[in-house]
Amino acid sequence: MRDSSSKAPLPDAASFSAAPAIAAEAAAWLSYLAGERRASRHTVEAYRRDLAAFLAFLTEHLGARPGAAELQALQPADLRAFLAKRRRDGLESRSLLRALAAVRNFLRFLEKKGLARADVFGAVRPPKRPHSLPKALTVTDARDIVDPAQRAGEAREPWVIARDAAVLALLYGAGLRISEALSTARDAAPVGAADRVTILGKGGKSRTVPVIAPVRAAIEAYLALCPYELAGGPLFVGARGGPLSPRIVQLAVERLRGALGLPDSATPHALRHSFATHLLGKGGDLRTIQELLGHASLSTTQIYTAVDKARLLDAYRSAHPRAAD
């Protein structure tokens, strides 16, 4: 279910350094992304920051708040200067690519109204996309991090420890994003004979994923201990009975990292990566994994073939007698 409380208020035109007409169009564009395009709150906020930075740059670069005439007269050199400025500000290639995409998207929005031109991007070479691979846990570490017994002795109520274990079990056992796990309704909980859960993923797309017995058992253990009445509300709640914050789950994993001696890359999202990597390592096909993860494109899922190949190469180099020759 979609959490309507996660929708952040959109900025008004006054928050953009541009001529009034363009500033109003900027606010309208963000509303279009959140409404018709159903972009996530995080995507809309990131694009808002990128566009605000671009318009502020143009104001300084051109010596005046940009209007339609200035946007129609943009040259490739202007965009390159913007990227160079953002690079000096400390943005890495991934963030620069997103900023470029945000500006291009906005100018195309304006181009349909005759207020700008977007063909200027054809002469701008985008930053190289980084080839960082997802960091998956080993099977043993993934099992340990979802095992509530690893937190025995913590000064926390048993139901809180059981709750965290149930959330982490869903991330690793069903490949959910943390936002998807925390938006699951109590009435849709995969318990008993209900061996699957339907969630609303990125872009408002619904998918149904199977939930294996150990994950269902973890959820049932949490429900048996939870002191709150959950019917009609979210499955996972915080200490006071309200919706559970992702930060609480992240802090729980940080404590587990210290106790288990795991690297900083061991995060809640790493459990989703581990789900995909371990399935692939056991012979799962990419199309099935794509559907389970809710990826719109198979190319997004294919990154896990590189993860699995890297794991195999590491095992070979550490174990084969001739690997060091």
Mean pLDDT over 169-188 rounds to 92
Catalytic site residue 295?
A: yes
Mean pLDDT over 272-297 rounds to 77
Q: What is the pLDDT of residue 53?
A: 95
Sign of the CA dihedral running 219, 224, 229, 232:
positive
Catalytic site residue 272?
A: yes
Confidence label for 250 from pLDDT (cuts 50, 70 and 90): very high
Cα dist from 15 to 8, 25, 43, 74, 105, whole Å: 15, 12, 18, 22, 19
Which one is predicted more confidently, 176 or 204?
176
Closest residue by Cα to residue 267 from 157, 168, 200: 168
Q: What is the pLDDT of residue 130?
A: 58
Catalytic residue among 47, 172, 222, 304: 304
Confidence label for 132 from pLDDT (cuts 50, 70 and 90): low
Catalytic residue among 61, 87, 108, 202: 202
Confidence label for 133 from pLDDT (cuts 50, 70 and 90): low
Catalytic residue among 86, 186, 272, 273: 272
Closest residue by Cα to residue 213 from 149, 164, 169: 169
Q: What is the pLDDT of residue 323?
A: 54
Mean pLDDT over 85-105 rounds to 88
Which one is predicted more confidently, 117 or 5?
117
117-123: long-range contacts at Cβ-Cβ below 8 A with a sequence spacing of 24 or more?
Answer: 117/71, 117/72, 117/74, 120/74, 120/75, 120/76, 120/78, 120/79, 121/79, 123/76
Asked whether 270 and 257 are in contact (CB, 8 A), the reply is no
Give strand pairing partners of 206: 200
Mean pLDDT over 118-143 rounds to 78
CA–CA separation, 277 and 275 (whole Å):
6
Q: For the chain, give the mean pLDDT.
A: 84
Tell me the three state secondary structure of residue 237: strand
Q: Residue 130 gets which letter from DSSP?
A: P
Confidence label for 259 from pLDDT (cuts 50, 70 and 90): confident
| pTM for the whole structure | 0.57
Does residue 25 carry a pLDDT above 90?
yes
Catalytic site residue 304?
A: yes
Write the burial class of residue 55 (CB in 10 Å: 0-12 exposed, 13-18 middle, 19+ buried).
buried
CA–CA separation, 246 and 261 (whole Å):
22
Catalytic residue among 86, 151, 163, 177: 177
